[in-house]
Structure 1
Amino acid sequence: MDGFETRRGYDRNPRVVRDRRLGRSSSAWARSFAADDVRPLIVCRGPIRKEAMDVFAQMGIEHYGILLSEKDSIVYTHALAPELRCLHPAHVHRVKDYTGATKDERVKLMQEIVAIARAGGYTHVFAGYGFMAEDEEFVRTLEEAGLVFIGPRSSVQRAAGLKDEAKRTALAAAVSVTPGIDDATRRIVLRKWPDHAALRAAAADRGLLGAGAPGARLADGIPLAEAADALLAAAYARRVDLYTTDELCEELERGAAELLARHPGRRIRLKAIGGGGGKGQRLLAGVAPDAAPLEAAARARAAEVPALAREILAEVKAAGVGDNKNILLELNVEETRHNEIQLVGNGAWCVALGGRDCSLQMHEQKLLEVAMTQEGLLEAIERARAAGEAPRAASLERERASLARMEAEAERFGQAVGLNSASTFECIVEGDHHYFMEVNTRIQVEHRVSELCYALRFENPADPADAFEVTSLVECMVLLARHGERLPRPIRVRREGSAVEARLNATNGALEPHAAGIIVSWSDPHPHEIRDDQGICVKNPDTGVFMHYRVAGAYDSNIALLVTYGASREEAYQRICEILRTTTLRGSDLHTNLLFHYGLVHWFLARSVWAKPTTGFVVPYLTQVGLLAVELGGLDFDVMWAELGARHERRLAARAGAAEATGGGALKKVFALKDTLVRRPVEKICAEPHLLSAWLSRNMGSFEIRSGRVRWLKNPIEVLADTYWLLNMTPQPQAPAAHVIWDHDQEVLSRALGFYRRVGERMGQAGGAPSWPELRAHLSGDTAPHGYDAELWRRVRGAHLGFQAGLELLDALVLAGDAARFFELRAREDGTVDIPERLLDRELSARMRKVLAPPPAMRANEIVAVTGGMFYAQEAPDRPPFVTKGSHFAAGDPLYVIEVMKMFNKVLAPCSGTVEEVLIDGGEGTIVQKGQPLFRVKPDEVLVEEDSAERARRRRETTLRYVDAIFDAEGA
């Protein structure tokens, strides 16, 4: 074993990168796998581009270059492509785009990349998880040009990457698949040319017999389905259309009607065969099981399919001549989880590296991903059994068995397609059953989650002690591309017990894309954090100052990947929580999902990190957070603070003993002294409902609610101190005063904590300090306990009253959570999540999204852009505009499409009215800004805004009801 065997030292600190240069190994066998002669061209962007550059350098690869699109961050004001800092200008190759909008543009770009590679002396091409990573035609183009693709070869891309082909391969490999229709284009061909002779005639008429569909493949002895597929493949190769988009839409509509009628009550998912990353998918609502007649209801619902199909083709840019436009129809598994298996192969062997639970997602985009390993599950099962948690242990046992089955199926699939690089086998999981969904023939965004849990140990077949380990999947892909079948089947070696990744995206409070913000400061990574941020956090090498960075909106919403690890899933979650807590990210017009993640992670820590949310969890969770915001919006904390002070004064006046203890007007001074101590953190929480979600989850064990009243199980002064910690407002050197506790507040808080510590120690029994309810009961009594004389006890009680006064604002936070029914969203003993029916209401969810991300202000006679992005007047280039001058529209009708970060969003009318003028000037794809007027309209009904005085009166009434509940709880 030489210096590359790093099972322990590297594991303890994964952020410390080892020397990956096999060429320096003391082992001749290991040196034979050196890859420093590889000269790669990187044709992707984002965090994976920077990671690849780092790994290449660590491997001793000195000659590498990157593409840089005109649409990348470099073209924006105050922006910087951080990768440029460590590359010679000759190795930065500018292109118009990373991919084209049409087939012609894509083909032209492919040839441009080949020319760049040849001119630059590059031998390999790395596409990461970017636009070209799963493009079979691109990979084939490289292969024909004599270049090596660092990823699956073109034959694997076809067999595994295209969703229809992959589904057929899975069936042949005895892999469980989702019921549905994957052969719409084949059906069209056989409907038009129903026998071998007709297929041959169609091929001859279009000049296809010599281009990928030789006559032998259309001979009478060939199964008709295979012959139809051969004709389609030849047509795609020659860029000839055998069917129109209208014919495809008609076929999909027929297929959808069949599925809906066979499976009433089930929705159908439409999926482009070349989609990915959430793009190219739409859901079609089902029909009621009791609909009569069922077939007619199914046909009526299926009539919506053509519009959805056209949206999909436009989104994945497959609407051009000769494009493969096939779209799959699958039954949507409603209560589904999204699990995936990391695969690595060399064509001869295939190894699974555990799984990842990626169920926490929205808009088909993953948000939080956590590792799944059989070893980690076995350890969790043992802990559950030791704690006497039989239901949890049984649930985890089923989870482990399911993971083992998925890993076995994934390896079988990889063997079947001859996988020769890294790929991901994706499944949807329903209860204890799973179904194959697709294979991503590329490295995944969340690949670090797996590589932190497992390394690959390659042993010399002649001497197992002679070995090296690979801890980076990017490195492994390079070695596979360079040495292929020479690499022996590796042994997976366990590293960390678990890992988790949070995707930091440029989205608003409702998780809608928000581009163009400028990052002006970003705290340094936490010691346990692996931050993949494309180098944004690298300071100016001359000044050490953070350089402003504009978030580019042309491609995707991801800013960075925040990854961490732990000995267990619990520890990994605690660490990602600490990373989120201490991360400060500030800027101009900057919106991110950082606080969403903070609240979400706290939700799981408070309930169970082994909970099993489905892919439908985030929407109801956001709806619940929106309800918190509504409840907070009904409160006036100025009124509440003043009323709390007044009621304390009245209470003192009615209690002569307490009044003597504090003196007249003393409480006014107390409230003045504690004003900022209590109100600053509470008001910060109230300004951001995701923080209230985190606070409520963290403090679930600190209180109980009885008959609408709060009873604290933990001293509220300790809760307040913890709240400062939660908000990262504890004292910090050189931190701006606006973001930390103020010195005089810290002094009061420290005195209060010290006071209760001393009182608790003095009143403690052999078993330790009393609980807060016990201590509070003592402090409420007039009679001095043993060890206190009357005067001392009077002063102790007075101090207690002063320290607790005003902390009732914390009660208000609890009551707001209770009123919003926050605690009803919970995890059951078996790990499944109990989502109240009310949170599944689509209209309520839509309203709460507007609460979390209020739409831009607009006049009553205008429709404005809901966000910045590219404006489109119709759903597809060959379709008419949704509205034109003079059009009447109803509330909920589509008005326009806006493309933000590669996602197409159909915007619906907020009211009914008539278009008087179209204000957008320019062609399709015109860039618009949030709040920009698009249409001048005449509403059918004039909207009357609520009177501000009436709104203030209602808030005051609600606030006083809260104060009533608080003081009733105090026994006033």
Structure 2
Amino acid sequence: MFQKILIANRAEIACRVIDTARRLGVATVAVYSDADAGARHVAMADQAVHIGGPRPADSYLRGDAIIAAALSTGAQAIHPGYGFLSENPDFVDAVQAAGLVFIGPSGDAIRAMGLKDAAKALMARAGVPVVPGYHGDNQDPEHLAGAAEALGYPVLIKAVAGGGGKGMRRVDRAADFAAALSGAQGEAQTAFGNPSVLIEKYVEKPRHIEVQIFGDGTRAVHLFERDCSLQRRHQKVIEEAPAPGMTEEMRAAMGQAAVRAAEAIGYSGAGTVEFITDASDGLRPDRFWFMEMNTRLQVEHPVTEAITGVDLVEWQLRVASGEPLPARQEDLQISGHAFEARLYAEDVPAGFLPATGTLKHLRFPPGLRVETGVRPGDTISPWYDPMIAKVISHGPTRAAALNALARGLTGTQVAGTVTNLGFLARVARHPGFGAGDVDTGLIARDLQVLTDPQPVPPAARALAVIAAAGLHEATGTGFSLWAPLRRPVPFEEPAQLQVTGPNRITVEIGGQMHDCARHPDGWWVDGAKTGAQIHVAADEITVFLQGAHRFARPDPLARESRGSASGLTLAPMPGLVKAVFVAPGAQVAAGDRLAVLEAMKMEHTLCAARAGLVAEVLAGAGDQVEAGAALIRLAEEEAA
């Protein structure tokens, strides 16, 4: 076993690897950028080395700096985590050339699976079924359009490099193909430095099922499947293991196909073989096809660990240090069911825009496995993926595990930034998902229901008024000098309260009176125990009651802005202006593309909110802008 390893990553995966290394008695070295100097993974590691600026290209993608850090600290091996350099075969070669061990597959194995088109051809030769499509080298738009016509719409355009839904577009008709192709190629170039794409037939009722494999370079085993069908825009939302509705015949066929794929390239370490299945007639062993292989540990690996009892990071360290596979196929069994939900800082009502902010409060309920790279007081940076945590539940049955996940999400508390917590909790309670009737289109079909703002419980609003008055933490002693005086409270809407006795307040808001009492077990409102918890910050109040409810704290000294922003296009988040499509004097219609902003590893197209004449272009391609920065101004509309 190694004595010291370096982790070439950040956030929750770096913390995850450190946890296992500690248990095995292995010392760890963290690397960090300027933006991560105070990060949790840096605090957890035994040593930490600064490697550059906040942009990934200046830090976590600098293989030379990472290798130098490993050599200078005496690390024997490098664990890549996922993302960044984890699937870069040139980095693997450089690590080995420096006399270090790469904790993962060989560079040749990564190359074999790195391009989706070449990987599909290799898998077909190995007897693994592949999706019908065009995987050739000709990237001429007319040729690709012809390939799409030959396959028949709908089709899927996919970047040949990378993953995570980037560089991917569904196209339903020939008229939309050119624009979709341009968007996919641009996003692929940004994310992976390779604009090449392939075209595949789109499966109408697809389920995304992947198989966890593990090899030692000679032989491989599979650790059963995960269902990752619950997706939004090709991004996984909630994953589970095992797949609902899976038959033993189908599981055996998929597992054997995944093992053949791994052994065909002499795979070593943890990897995932992803399949697309046609679920229109249930799960059938003749209706699954190879999509791609991820030659690394996956974000959702904890659900596999939960149902098998295997620590995949431990296996990675053991095999990379020269040990054989720790188990035979017949030794592996499924126990219970597990789910993982990805908690992000993102503005769901605004179209799931990534968000930033300072985590003023962060608390998870007991009974869940939580993997996180942040702590209360940490900042969600615009430079990286805005994940706050992975929330994992495990139970003896699917229903029990899903219920535990839903309760756990409802009980999770985050203040200081908007999150997708409410959306995740509603997804977990979705009747179709609960019944196991899942496919990749479930969220899109019910998006309105899943994202509509939920009504705020009257009790939460009443408690927010109490917090706005500064009485939320008052004790019996604090109320002892009460006087029956009704007074207004600065709040989002007219509100008054009256202290009517020790630990008792009457709140009037929205024409309703609420009797609020503080008991030893917390706040009761209108005679009902709430279990609510309240967090107060300088600019907002958050009441945790059947979810998180945020209320602004009005500043009575703040002057209302008189300016109108109706003609301004603002940056919705900090990012890099990738392109600007208009110039002063141009006439635009509502919905026309104005600019593209690159932020948090995604491209966001900014469109005109109304028709008008472009008066000013305030930012250019290559500019780094802050959230709220004015990018384009339209001339004022003439009065009728």
TM-score interval, normalised by the smaller of the two chains: 0.7 to 0.9
Residue 730 of structure 1 and its aligned partner are, at CA, apart by 12
Q: In 1, are the aligned partners of 2:10 and 2:41 still within 8 Å (CA)?
A: no
Gaps of 5+ in 2: 462-504, 532-560
Q: Does 1:926 align with 2:631?
A: no
Q: Name the residue aligned to 1:559.
A: 388
Residues 626, 419 of structure 1: CA spacing in aligned structure 2 closer, same or farther, 3 A cutoff? closer
Query: Which has more strand, going by share of residues?
Result: 2
Question: Given the superposition, is the C-alpha separation of residues 628 and 933 from structure 1 closer, same or farther in structure 2, using an over 3 Å criterion?
Answer: closer
CA contact (8 A) 2:593 2:606 kept: yes
Q: Quote the residue 2:191 is aligned against.
A: 316
Instruction: Return the alpha-carbon distance in structure 2 between the equivalents of residues 895 and 563 of structure 1.
Output: 40
Report what 2:110 is aligned to: 157
CA distance in 2, matches of 1:550, 1:100: 20
Deviations 1:125-177 (A, max 9, x none): 11111311111121122122222111111111011232122111111122221
| In structure 2, distance between residues paired with 1:941 and 1:627 | 35
- Evaluate the alpha carbon distance shift between residue 925 and residue 490 of structure 1 in structure 2; reply closer, same or farther with a 3 A threshold: farther
Cα pair distance change 1:731/1:602, threshold 3 Å: farther
8 Å Cα contact 2:161-2:188 kept in structure 1: no
Query: Relative to structure 1, is the Cα distance of residues 904 and 734 closer, same or farther in structure 2, using a 3 angstrom cutoff?
Result: farther
Q: CA deviation at 1:594?
A: 0.8
1:441 corresponds to which residue?
A: 295
TM-score (norm 2): 0.79
Task: Assess, with a 3 A threshold, how the Cα gap between structure 1 residues 533 and 421 changes in structure 2: closer, same or farther.
Answer: same
Do residues 180 (structure 1) and 133 (structure 2) align? yes
Which residue of structure 1 lines up, in the alignment, with residue 399 of structure 2? Answer: 570
Residues 1:405 and 2:253 aligned together: yes
> If you compute each CA radius of gyration, which structure gives the higher value, 1 or 2?
1
CA displacement at 1:566 relative to structure 2: 0.4
Cα distance change, pair 497–346 in 1 and its aligned pair in 2 (3 A)? same
Residues 176-214 of structure 1 show CA distances to partners (whole Å, capped at 9, x for unaligned) of: 212222222xx4xxxxxxxxxxxxxxxxxxxxxxxxxxx
CA shift at 1:870, angstroms? 1.2
Query: Could you tell me how far apart the structure 2 residues matched to 1:365 and 1:677 are?
Result: 46
Aligned position for 1:59 = 24
- Give 1:95's aligned residue: 52
Deviation at 1:485, TM superposition (A): 4.5
How far does the alpha carbon of each residue in 1:386-422 deviate from its partner, in whole angstroms, 9 at most, with x for none? xxxxxxxxxx3x6554333221211111111111110
Q: CA separation in 2, counterparts of 1:285 and 1:486?
A: 45
The CA deviation string for residues 53-91 of structure 1, in whole angstroms up to 9 with x for no partner, is: 1111101112x201102243x4xxxxx412233345x53
1:603 is matched with which residue: 430, 448, 469? 430
Tell me, in whole angstroms, the C-alpha distance in 2 between the residues paired with 1:178 and 1:476.
32
**Counting helix residues as a fraction of each chain, which structure ranks higher?**
1
Give me the whole-angstrom Cα distance separating, in 1, the residues matched to 2:567 and 2:404.
47
Matched, 1:902 2:601: yes
More contact order relative to length (CA 8 Å, sep ≥ 6):
1
- Contact 2:154–2:171 under 8 Å retained in 1: yes
Q: In 2, are the aligned partners of 1:449 and 1:499 still within 8 Å (CA)? A: yes
- Native 8 Å contact 1:67 1:95 kept in 2: no
Counterpart code for 1:58: R
| Residue aligning to 1:520 | 360
For residue 476 of structure 1, the aligned residue among 315, 326, 349 is: 315
2:586 paired with 1:746: no
Any idea what SS the aligned residue of 2:418 has? coil
SS in 1 for 2:299: coil
Specify which of 187, 198, 216 is matched with residue 346 of structure 1: 216
Query: C-alpha separation between the residues in 2 aligned to 1:624 and 1:907?
Result: 25
Aligned mates of 2:215, 2:618 — CA distance in 1: 55
The 1-side partners of 2:105 and 2:45 are apart by 27
> 1: distance between equivalents of 2:354 and 2:181?
29
5+ unaligned residues in a row in structure 1: which ranges? 1-34, 75-79, 188-247, 288-299, 319-323, 378-395, 456-470, 537-546, 639-675, 684-728, 750-855, 875-880, 945-972
SS where residue 883 of structure 1 aligns?
coil
> Which of 120, 126, 144 matches 2:73?
120
Change (3 A) 1:599 1:176: same
Greater shift after overlay, 356-365 or 274-283?
A: 274-283
CA contact 1:858–1:864 (8 Å) conserved in 2: no
Asked if the contact 1:274–1:316 (Cα under 8 Å) also holds between the matched residues in 2, the reply is: no
Shift in CA distance, 858/267, structure 1 to aligned 2, threshold 3 Å: farther
1:690 matched residue in structure 2: none
Rounded to whole Å, the distance in 1 between the matches of 2:509 and 2:330 is: 55
Render the CA deviation track for 1:348-370: whole Å, top value 9, x for unaligned. 21111111111112132211111
The answer (yes or no) to whether the contact 2:51–2:60 under 8 Å persists in 1 is no
1:505 has 2:344 as partner: yes
Report the alpha carbon displacement of residue 51 of structure 1 after superposing the two structures with TM.
Answer: 0.8
Distance 1:156 1:861, change over 3 A: same
Which of 419, 439, 453 is matched with 1:592 structurally? 419
- Aligned length in residues: 559
1:741 Cα shift? 2.9
In the aligned structure 2, how far is the partner of 1:678 from the partner of 1:613?
45
Residues 127, 858 of structure 1: alpha-carbon distance in 2 compared, 3 angstrom cutoff: farther
Q: Which amino acid aligns with 2:428?
A: V
Q: Which residue of the partner structure matches residue 475 of structure 2?
A: none
Corresponding residue number in structure 2 for 1:867: 572
Matched-pair identity in %: 29
Rate the CA distance shift 1:113–1:584 in 2: closer, same or farther, 3 A.
Answer: closer
Contact 1:496 1:565 in 2 (8 A): no
> Aligned match of 1:583 in 412, 432, 441?
412
CA gap 1:116/1:911 in 2 versus in 1, 3 angstroms: same
Query: Could you tell me whether the CA contact under 8 Å between 1:871 and 1:896 is conserved in 2?
Result: no
RMSD of aligned residue pairs (Cα, Å): 3.6
Q: Counterpart of 1:272? A: 159
What secondary structure, in the 3-state scheme, does the structure 2 residue paired with 1:333 have? coil
Contact 1:342 1:422 in 2 (8 A): yes
Q: How do residues 389-788 of structure 1 correspond to structure 2 at under 5 angstroms?
A: 396=245, 399-431=247-279, 432=283, 433-455=287-309, 471-485=310-324, 489=328, 491-494=330-333, 496-510=335-349, 512-523=352-363, 525-534=364-373, 536=375, 547-587=376-416, 590-604=417-431, 609-625=434-450, 740-742=523-525, 745-746=527-528
Output the CA distance in 1 between the equivalents of 2:419 and 2:393: 19
User: Hey, what's the Cα distance between the residues in 2 that align with 1:514 and 1:936?
Assistant: 23
TM superposition shift of 1:499: 0.6
